[in-house]
Amino acid sequence: MTIKQGWTGRFFEDFEVGDVYKHPLGRTVTETDNTWFSLLTMNTNQMHFNTEYAKKSEFTKPLVVSTLTVAIAVGQSVTDLTQNAFANLGWDDIKMTHPVFAGDTLFSESVVLEKRESASRPHAGIVTVHTRTLNQDGDEVCSFKRMFYVYKQGAEQVEGIFPEGKKPLPQVGE
């Protein structure tokens, strides 16, 4: 039996300034997502959950909570950027550039702006990216800069995480 290593994410050494990552998973935002996120975050602005209130606005329907849009954008980027990160250091210049509504499908992409060795953590480096999120029509709905700590290859903190099974996997034909 050949054991195939699954995707384990990028390490500090894998990032190069100017690299662009088109994050692979789109996400359609539902009315339920928006309602639950409003409830979970205690956001009481009726623009996000009251159809009658929203009808009177220039948008004529409820807006998706902007922090949900940012959360989805960050989540979409994890597989490419922060699978091996251990701390976000900051988000800057967050812009909400187009309304998001239930039913919109969001896609995100990021470009590496800078990277540097950590002065205090020899097992890590710091990477800064610019991420933007597009809706299904190609309209940019949000953008931001993000800085994060990411482990270097071989860092002991990411070694030996997957446990050994107490029983072996069944073999082909068993």
Strand partners, 106: 27
The residue type of 99 is P
Model pLDDT, residue 32: 96
Residue 148 pLDDT exceeds 90: yes
pLDDT (tens digit, 9 = 90+) per residue, 83-96? 999 999 999 999 99
CA distance 77 to 147: 13
- How far apart (Å, rounded) are the C-alpha atoms in residues 80 and 20? 10
Whole-prediction pTM value? Answer: 0.90
Average pLDDT over residues 37-57: 95
What is the C-alpha end-to-end distance of the chain, expressed in Å?
13
- Rg (C-alpha) for the chain, rounded Å, is 20
Confidence of residue 7 (pLDDT cuts 50, 70, 90): confident
pLDDT of residue 1 exceeding 90, the answer is no
Q: Given CATH 3.90.480.20, say whether it is the number of domain 12-51+59-153.
A: no
Please report, for the chain, the start and end positions of each structural domain, with discontinuous segments joined by +: 12-51+59-153
pLDDT in tens, 106-145: 999 999 999 999 999 999 999 999 999 999 999 999 999 9
